[in-house]
Structure 1
């Protein structure tokens, strides 16, 4: 899954670490945080 996450992050123009930080901010309720974009089904 780690490799797949890296590929999916690249497919939306993000680094894996940045995607994880954005997801965690949203998950813990940081004001203004948004879910990171998801790749379309064929991208990752």
Structure 2
């Protein structure tokens, strides 16, 4: 059985990949995602 920390790190890693894709999409459709970008502090 894996330690919880190892599992947590994997989830974090997957989330960071997902987040990167979302940010890329937001930059491509910046007008559409403007409110989300300002919430995330990417503006």
Q: Rg bigger for which structure?
A: 2
**TM-score of the aligned structures, taking structure 1 as reference length:** 0.37
Instruction: Please state which structure has a larger fraction of its residues in helix.
Output: 2
**TM-score of the aligned structures, taking structure 2 as reference length:** 0.37
* Higher RCO (Cα < 8 Å, 6 or more apart): 1
